[in-house]
Each structure stands twice: as C-alpha cells, then as structure tokens.
A and B are shown apart, each in its own frame.
Chain A
Amino acid sequence: EADIYQTPRYLVIGTGKKITLECSQTMGHDKMYWYQQDPGMELHLIHYSYGVNSTEKGDLSSESTVSRIRTEHFPLTLESARPSHTSQYLCASSEYGAGLQETQYFGPGTRLLVL
C-alpha cells in the first residue's frame, strides 16, 4: 500500500463555493501529480510538481490551482466550483530519478459532485 492520502473522499457542494482537495504523502517523494478521471474512466493530468515551490500545468486545461509549500503536501483549489467540475480527482507521487521514470503511487481519490 502506498502512503498517499486524499481528503475528503467524497464532496457534494453547491455552485460558486470555494473548495480545496487535500493530498499528502509520507514517502518523501519530490514529484506529485493531480489527475482528473472522467466518467469514461480515462485519466488526464491537470497539474504536477517536481518539488517545493514548483508547479506546472498538465495536459488537460483546468480552472483549478495548486500549491507546493511542503514536500509532503499538494493541495488543489477551485475558487468557484461549477457543475462542469464534477469528476474524480486523483493525486499521485513519485521519486525523482534522474534519467529514469519512477513508479507513480496513487491516492484513493476524491469524488466531487457540484450541484
């Protein structure tokens, strides 16, 4: 089992609310990622970080923002939730390996429903 945690696991919220999805890992991994998983199952990378104070946008455009102030913590924020944000959000982490891709470990996910 990977030591990566996400809270809340489920969230139902009204349109216009600000939300923060939490992700933390105790493995000391430098790299962290956020994926959005749509109902058709496919995972899309929306944000990633190579370390503290490093954040990059992923392949899928997202209105969410992220921060990386501590190695173990990579929260995702939506300033104003909309029904189109309804999805499952998965956090992952991996070690930084120069020249090698390291295994990504996933958290259990947060299922978000915006009414």
Chain B
Amino acid sequence: GENVEQHPSTLSVQEGDSAVIKCTYSDSASNYFPWYKQELGKGPQLIIDIRSNVGEKKDQRIAVTLNKTAKHFSLHITETQPEDSAVYFCAASGGAGGTSYGKLTFGQGTILTVHP
C-alpha cells in the first residue's frame, strides 16, 4: 500500500519568514495530494490540494508543488503569521481501480510554530 513520509516533524519560524514542509510518497498510482491544517481541539481542515496533472498550485500565501518523477510534493507558506501555527498534514490518494482508491494515507504531521 501507499506510504507517505513527511519532514520536518517540527518547524519553528519567525513571523514573516517562509515555511516549507516536504512529503514523499511510494505509490506511483497516487494522483491526489491534499494538505490539511489541524488546530488544537479541532479536526483537520483542507487548505490546498493538487492533482497529478498539475505541477504547482497557489492560493494567496500558500503554494504546493508536485514532482511526480521523484514522487514528492511540498507545501510552501510565505509571509507566515502567528495564526499559521498548527499541525500540518500531507496526504496521498490512489487513482480509480487501485486498491487505495478513495483512501487517504497521511504523513506523520509537522508542528509549525510562528513566533511573533
């Protein structure tokens, strides 16, 4: 089955700096890669996603890049703010017909702390 590795496990930045979180996946059939943000006491919330037919996607201060050949994808947050502090998860999902279709495999999570 799919295996997703996420690094780093913790990331501390100063307000205004950029933050980058990286993930690798093992199943070349995976074609959907969402990123979730989880705040304390809440469930994960989707912040951005990318499909395998796209190499990069941006939404204001957040961007995701995908390298299918190398099987890795990254989350980039620019101009970080204290409210960006949370746990971030990457995930991967397989394509139709595969045994992992419709199921997300999550990375281990990254605790991001943005210092004012």
Question: Would you call B102 and A108 a contact (CB within 8 A)?
Answer: no
- Give Cα A58 to B1, complex, Å: 12
Please provide the chain B residues from 82 to 112 with a CB less than 8 Å away from any CB of chain A in the complex. Answer: 87, 89, 93-96, 101-109, 111
Question: Would you call A101 and B43 a contact (CB within 8 A)?
Answer: no
Question: Would you call A105 and B46 a contact (CB within 8 A)?
Answer: yes
- Give Cα A41 to B105, complex, Å: 13
Question: Would you call A59 and B105 a contact (CB within 8 A)?
Answer: yes
A104 neighbours in B (Cβ, 8 Å): 34, 46, 104
Minimum distance in angstroms from B90 CB to a CB of chain A: 11
Q: Is the interface of B mostly helix, strand, loop or mixed?
A: strand
Q: Which chain A residue lies CB-closest to B36?
A: A106
Contacts known (A31-B102, A98-B96); A43 close to B42, Cβ less than 8 A = no
User: Is the CB of B45 closer than 8 A to any CB of chain A?
Assistant: yes
Please provide the chain B residues from 1 to 57 with a CB less than 8 Å away from any CB of chain A in the complex. Answer: 1, 31-32, 34, 36, 41-46, 49, 51
> How many residues of chain A have a CB within 8 Å of chain B?
28
User: Is the CB of A42 closer than 8 A to any CB of chain B?
Assistant: yes
Task: Identify 25 residue pairs between A and B in the complex whose beta-carbon atoms are under 8 Å apart, listed by A's number.
Answer: A2-B45, A31-B102, A33-B103, A40-B109, A41-B108, A41-B109, A42-B107, A42-B109, A43-B89, A44-B106, A59-B105, A90-B43, A99-B96, A100-B32, A100-B51, A100-B96, A101-B31, A101-B93, A103-B34, A103-B46, A104-B34, A104-B46, A106-B36, A106-B45, A108-B41
